[in-house]
Amino acid sequence: MGEIKLKDKVCIVTGATSGMGKAIARAFYEEGGKLVLSGRNEKRGQTLEEELPGSVFVPGDVGNVDDNKKLVDKALSSFGRLDVLSLNAGMLGLGSVVDLPISEWKKTLDVNLSSIFYISKYAIPQLKKDRGGTILINSSIAAFKSFPNHPAYCASKAATLALMRQMAVEYAPEIRVNALCPGPVDTPLIWDSAKAFEDPKTAVENAANTTLLKRLGTPDDVAKLALFLVSEDASWITGTAMTIDGGILNT
């Protein structure tokens, strides 16, 4: 039997109630992680908490400063330390620059970008106190590629990579900071994203067929990469944005 990769590591996982965040939470749990789970849907969060005994679910909106502080405080009160941030919460903010309401622009940046700043602000002192740790940001190939009617999403995802590199430089060598950049993954988010196109079903099918591997990614595909990046297997990787996209950026 192999080494348990996250044995007794205390991990905050945001966006944990669906899609990639949920798969990541399960992967971390199976490898011995002690989890603080975050999401807006309290019912789904409580169900996940029951599926992963010993985990703690904290409902909230990471776009709010105080909800991020609550997550760090809960990790410390429940488990006494903090080792890993896995930041997966996201929203789309669909609409062209002209049509997108300013409130939706601000909300998208709050959830996709500012939340990373908020939680890192509170978590980094504790990560340093606990002799290092790792921060993993779930970004997107939208950081590199434009999509119709996704200005807030694309802008926020590109900014997450700049913030990731800044934190990697500023808090090395104690803390590793990386990002993963998924392409088209079969989650509720891709189907919501497809609503920006005239024929959503065809848009998703086209995305799958455009990848070199001719399929959508799965949440478990992404979870395996996330597990690698926060584990000691990736102990010499920091300041890196790693794509996981079925090769779509090469087409």
Q: Which residues are catalytic?
A: 153
Q: Is 222 exposed, middle or buried (0-12, 13-18, 19+ CB in 10 A)?
A: buried
d(CA 162, CA 22): 25
d(CA 232, CA 211): 30
Which of these, 1, 66, 68, lies nearest to 38 by C-alpha position? Answer: 68
d(CA 14, CA 76): 16
Could you write out the DSSP letters of every residue in 102-167?
HHHHHHHHIIIIIHHHHHHHHHHHHHHHTT-EEEEEE--GGGTS--TT-HHHHHHHHHHHHHHHHH
Q: Which residues pair with 56 in a beta bridge?
A: 36
Identify the DSSP state of 203. H
Buried b / exposed e over 24-58, threshold 16 CB at 10 Å, is bbbbbbebebbbbbbbbeeebbeebbeebeebbbb
Read off the tokens for 130. Answer: 């606990």
Report helix, strand or coil for 251. Answer: coil
**Inter-residue contact 119 to 72 (CB < 8 Å):** yes
